[in-house]
Amino acid sequence: MNERRGFTLIELLVVIAIIAVLMGILMPSLQKVRKQAQATTCLAGLKQIGLAAELYANDYDLFVPRGSTGNNPIWFIQFLPYVGQDRNERDYRNVKIFRCKSWPTTGVGLNGVPNSRQTVTYVMNDWTFSSKFDDSGTSIGRATKLSVFRRRSNTVYLADNEDGDWRPVIETEDSPEIIRMDIFVRTHLPASDSHHINNGRRVARERHSKGCNALFLDWHAEHVRAEEMTIDLWRDKQ
């Protein structure tokens, strides 16, 4: 007579322990793969925004939106018709490419607003310089013709937005905090340690592999390490 024999408690515990060890080994690799996938998706989204910007420029005498002050057109609203979303029919918050998948869903931003409510995770180049020798520059606050940019392939248009309790969470297109999504002083760059509400760091330091993704004005997108994100990558006159 054949006797059936199941697992003993010790054998079962050994199997569970082996599975736990394997999971401990695999989890870091899986997390890395997930982050790489998110970074790739972010780059693809920026490239789509770049295509929308190029189509917009072709329709508006080669001008592109810049700053978000006053009555200036906000870039993510102006680009809606070029990403399959008509402004009069759709909400910009439905456009997935305006929000990086690596944006943290935990934590809070300015005034304690949860990060999960963020609808736009990119900051805009609003920096203008009097010449290539100008090391300070200022906010331009208006649309700019592409011919102003001497080296479009080496000039950032959009970059990953930094998160932190000093950074705004934009929930609607009429948010008064949108003006804090523009880049125009050195302390907005990743090298800055400032958390000041106006002059603190605005470009993400470690969103993707110790740097951030950026869209350039020739409409290509690439990863830029934090230490390489210098003022020279934001110049309109080079």
Closest CA to 177 of 103, 68, 65: 68
Residues 137 and 184 sit within 8 Å (Cβ to Cβ): yes
pLDDT digits (tens, 9 = 90+) for 194-223: 999 999 999 999 999 899 999 999 999 999
Give me the pLDDT at residue 76, please.
Answer: 94
Residue 70 tokens, joined: 């006053």
The per-residue pLDDT for 133 is 87
Task: State the pLDDT at residue 31.
Answer: 63
Predicted local confidence at residue 218, as pLDDT = 97
So what's the pLDDT on residue 63?
95
Determine contact, residues 201/194, Cβ cutoff 8 Å. yes
Q: Give me the pLDDT at residue 35, please.
A: 66
Dump the DSSP string for 92-142: GGG-GGGS-TTS-SSSB-GGG-BGGG----EEEE-EE-SSTT-SS-EE--S
Contact in structure between 113 and 102 (CB atoms under 8 Å): no
Contact yes or no for 149/219 (Cβ under 8 A)? no
- How do the domains of the chain map onto residue ranges? 11-234
Sheet holding 156-160, edge to edge: 182-183, 122-125, 156-160, 211-216, 221-225
Q: Taking the CA atoms of the chain, what radius of gyration do you get in angstroms?
A: 22
- From first to last of its 238 residues, the chain has per-residue pLDDT tens of 555 566 677 777 778 888 888 777 776 655 665 666 777 889 999 999 999 999 999 999 999 999 876 667 799 999 999 998 765 567 899 999 999 999 999 999 999 999 999 999 999 999 999 988 899 999 998 899 999 998 999 999 999 999 999 999 999 998 999 999 999 999 999 999 999 999 999 999 999 989 999 999 999 999 999 999 999 999 987 6
Region for 78 from its dihedrals, namely left if φ exceeds 0, alpha if ψ lies in -120 to 50, beta otherwise: alpha
* CB 147 within 8 Å of CB 128: no
Mind listing the pLDDT tens digit for each residue in 114-123? 999 999 999 9
Whole-number pLDDT of residue 89 = 66
